[in-house]
Amino acid sequence: MKICCIGAGYVGGPTMAVIAMKCPDVRVDVVDINKKRIDAWNSDSLPVFEPGLDAVVRAVRGKNLFFSTDVAGAVSAADIVFISVNTPTKTYGVGAGRASELKYVEACARQIADVSTTDKIVVEKSTMPVRTADVIRQILSSCDSGVKFQVLSNPEFLAEGTAVKDLENPDRVLIGGDDKTAEGRAAIKTLAGLYARWVDPKRIIETNLWSSELSKLTANAFLAQRISSINAISALCEATGADVDEVAAAVGADSRIGPKFLKSSVGFGGSCFQKDLLNLVYLCEHFNLPEAARYWQNVLDMNAYQKRRFAAWVVKDLFGSLSGKKIAVFGFSFKENTNDTRESPAIDVCRNLLSEGAKLAIYDPKVSQEQIYSDLNIGEEKIPGDGGVEICSSPYEASKDSYAITVLTAWGEFACLDYVKIYKTMKKPAWIFDGRNCLDGDLLRRLGYRVRAVGKSFE
């Protein structure tokens, strides 16, 4: 069997590496139009940082896993083609700011139609709006080569930072297909058979296409909703003296609720939650369901409020002005253990602090300077000695002479720093704003810091 995956990003790369490892007799080609990305996948410095990924790629690359820019060649040879390209929120035209941009998916479908000479199963891997499979089907069925295609939806549920673990041991694998025809059912079985090599068949769920597409959007919306719910409570905790971690632990102990995704924070980020919620809102409005649309929009509004609230603390506690003050930023990725910054709350918080005249000193163990400047829209010409944003190679350098430390990503190393040493180098009063509740606030207070943390009362 030959598999091809179009798109060598955060989803395509790790997913295919794990499939190749679990299925040594299957040839897996990962292709992308971005040569720089493919070169990186073929180098010792992978474009995606994921714990455990280097070892998996090293074990199978060049054996049954190949990265290349030959999209046509790999698609043409494959039995199964995964589409794993980006589906960002549209920035213009109908549905701008909410609907998903499907031009990359459409381009893939057209290319598959153009180069295929043998029958293929085409699998939507990226998160797609409901009924995208129909778009792909229409394009594929309009080619007159006589080649037969089956379109399946097989959304990826991996979370960044734990991708390899999630892929090796998924809660479930969802496969949606045309369950009304024998060919459709056979395609579902073929893909299910691939996963069954390492996933318990009881965890492989088969549905119709639209249920599969909508389940992925719904799963992300529910997860995001839990975070917004606990974040709404965090504001109330700060006002009343309750502690949000204690509330979350007590609430999550109810087996009907469960403990996961109740960690209050400066807000959720990542490439999926916001995009998928916007998509869901757009879908509800499209089907004239304004109440349902408003409900999901509120989850996003709460997230924006949480980010604004955090930046407002910093301004207020630093006596209402950040003008010319150095602020250390610990962490820029949207969560720990990834170098991905898409929709990272750090971007909004940093922009907000910069608009108040702060001088930011940013440290992140995995995000590149180039990426941070690009996210903050800082042009190349401004980089040397700009004063606005400085990228630091250690948290000690970032905090030296700063008025405050803002913790925006829960990288493990931030809990283990020498805060006695850091305190001595900071301006006084030395502030710490913990946007991830990942530091020991009581200890820091004893060392002399003033500490504010999400959902905790200020003492």
Contact call for residue 272 and ligand UDX (CB under 6 A): yes
DSSP state of 96: T
Q: Could you tell me the smallest distance in angstroms from the CB atom of residue 272 to ligand ADP?
A: 8
Of 65, 71, 152, 410, the one binding ligand ADP by CB under 6 A: 71
Q: How far is the CB of 99 from ligand ADP (least distance, A)?
A: 17
Q: Strand 27-31 and strand 65-68: pairing? A: parallel
Site string for ligand UDX, 148-167 (x = CB under 6 A): --------xxxxx-------
Rounded least distance, CB 408 to ligand UDX, Å: 10
Residue 159 near which of ligand UDX, ligand ADP, none (CB within 5-8 Å, type-dependent): ligand UDX
- Report the distance separating Cα 215 and Cα 447, nearest Å: 48
Is 86 a binding residue for ligand ADP by CB under 6 A? The answer is yes
- DSSP-assigned letter for residue 201: G
Q: Indicate the residue among 52 and 252 with the shorter CB distance to ligand ADP.
A: 52
Q: Please check whether residue 238 is in contact with residue 252, taking contact to mean a CB–CB distance below 8 angstroms.
A: no
Pick out residues in 98-127 that bind ligand ADP (CB under 6 A).
Answer: 104, 107-108, 126
- CB of 404 closer than 8 Å to CB of 314: yes
CB contact at 8 A, 409 and 334: yes
Q: How far apart are CA 276 and CA 216, in angstroms?
A: 9
Least distance (Å) between residue 438 CB and ligand UDX: 10
Residue 81 engages ligand ADP in binding (rule: CB under 6 A): no
When CB distances are held under 5 to 8 angstroms depending on the partner's kind, the choice from ligand ADP, ligand UDX, none that residue 126 binds is: ligand ADP
Identify the bridge partners of residue 2 per DSSP, sorted by sequence position.
27
Q: Is there binding between residue 275 and ligand UDX (CB under 6 A)?
A: no
Give, as ranges, the residues between 136 and 195 that touch ligand ADP (CB under 6 A): none
Candidate segments 24-32, 51-59, 81-89, 263-271, binder of ligand UDX by CB under 6 A: 263-271
Q: 392, 399, 390: which is closest to 419 by C-alpha?
A: 399
Residues whose CB falls within 8 Å of the CB of residue 354, separated by 6 or more in sequence, listed in order: 360, 376, 388, 389
**CB under 8 Å to 7, separation ≥6 — which residues?**
32, 82, 83, 84, 85, 86, 104, 108, 125, 126
Residue from 49, 82, 268, 296 in contact with ligand UDX (CB under 6 A): 268
Please tell me the number of Cα atoms within 13 Å of 60 on its side-chain side: 26
Residue 8 in the binding site for ligand ADP (CB under 6 A): yes
Stretch that binds ligand ADP, among 9-17, 224-232, 243-251, 364-372 (CB under 6 A): 9-17
Residues involved in catalysis: 272
Sequence letter at residue 423: Y
Which residues of this chain interact with ligand ADP, rule CB under 6 A?
6-12, 32-34, 37, 71, 84-86, 104, 107-108, 126, 271
